Amino acid sequence: MVSIRFPGGIKVKLERGIAKAIPLFFISHKKSLGILQCRGFFHFQHLAMQYAEVYVSFVLLTVFINLEQKVLVIKDYKFGYLKLFVKKIPLSLALIACFCLLLAVFKITAFDKMPEPFDGMHEIGILFFGLANSVVASFMFYLFTIHADNVLKAFKIYPIARRWSSGVVGNCQRMFTDFSNKSGININIDNFDSDGLLRDVLKNIDPNSEAPLVDYKLQRLNWINYLDDIRIRTQHLIDKLLDTNCSSSLDNDLIALLLLLKDCGYFVDIQHAKLTGVSNKDLSWIHNLLHEYCQICAEIKKRNVEIFADCEFPTGQ
């Protein structure tokens, strides 16, 4: 494999034989380019057209080479990769490319058949046609090289990110399950926000009573220790998501929610309560901050569904 670096820091890996053929490709088109031999006067419109033609040809050559490599890599991923590929295409770039494509089609089908309103209009049309073709070719180059690489990276990371992000929500759901067992009131991450249900549950739990958690001596810990343990587990999962390569492939809204959860006031209060102890007879004093924590977890659950649910991952992920 040979790496070729293009202007703008774009780096493409090609087979060695193909890489050697690229200079020959340009030399064979030097008359069309009008750049490698600048002898005498040449018409600017012909240069624009011929440059665009060769540029588009070279971009298509690079695209098809990289596309073949991607097909070999993703053949086991079925349609999951294609769904993610389409989902992550930048909308603004796609609209610009579509506009330029329509402009090129309009130039061929309608503009060329119109009489010139003034001298030089034909040359201006040729210039814009060449630019439009170059923009479309550049978008294809981006789409099937840079974008395809980024999506493939995200596709490989998503199973890990989904497991960790689901673990953050799972810690919250685990807390609700244990709350239900202790209080006798059915509560979960989907119904905690209805009719003061969370407050009723907290009124039935003594923070200093035994919780479903033991230390290394197999001694039961209280509910403050239990809630602090969930805090530690949750923050650890968030740190793994944000401190690894996962963060570069995650949705920005999900990252914002994870950061908000990591530093939420509920975690600060629970950590402080563990250090100082509490004399309260129930957990209702933590209701407002705990409610905020649960709301963030519910939002993370929704984002997980939106990001990961429609992606078909390889078997075993």
pLDDT digits over 231-270, tens only? 999 999 999 988 766 666 777 889 999 999 999 999 999 9
Does 211 share its domain with 167?
A: yes
In degrees, rounded to 5, the angle at the alpha carbon of residue 252 between the alpha carbons of residues 297 and 87 is 105
Name the DSSP letter for residue 118.
Answer: S
Do 299 and 162 fall into the same domain?
yes
- The verdict on residue 317 lying in a domain is no
**244 domain residue, yes or no:** yes
51 and 145 in one domain?
yes
Q: Which of 126, 150, 174 is the last residue of a domain?
A: 150
Contacts of 183 (CB under 8 A, 6+ apart): 200, 201, 204, 205
Number of Cβ within 10 Å of residue 162's Cβ equals 18
Least confident span in 19-28, 124-133, 235-244, 288-297: 19-28
**Could you give the count of Cα atoms lying within 13 Å of 38 in the half-sphere of its Cβ?**
3
Contacts of 133 by beta carbon, 8 Å cutoff, 6+ apart: 52, 53, 55, 56, 100, 104
Residue 165 has pLDDT above 80, yes or no: yes
- Of the candidates 191, 190, 185, the one whose C-alpha atom is nearest the C-alpha of residue 203 is 185
CA angle (191, 208, 223) in 5-degree steps: 40
Residue range(s) defining the domain that contains residue 197: 157-308
pLDDT of residue 158: 80
State the Cα–Cα distance between residues 132 and 104, nearest whole angstrom: 6
Residue-wise pLDDT for 22-81, tens only, equals 444 444 444 444 443 443 334 544 555 555 555 555 555 555 555 555 554 455 555 666
Number of domains in the chain: 2
Residue 104 belongs to some domain of the structure = yes
DSSP 156-170: HHHHHHHHHHHHHHH
Q: What is the mean pLDDT of the chain?
A: 76
Of 133, 150, 167, the last residue of a domain is 150
H runs (alpha helix) in the chain:
16-28, 30-33, 44-74, 80-87, 91-109, 121-141, 148-183, 197-203, 223-243, 252-262, 265-276, 287-308
Could you give the CA distance from residue 156 to residue 314 in angstroms, rounded to a whole number?
A: 9
Domain assignment present for residue 238? The answer is yes
- pLDDT for 107 equals 80
Q: SS3 of 1, please?
A: coil
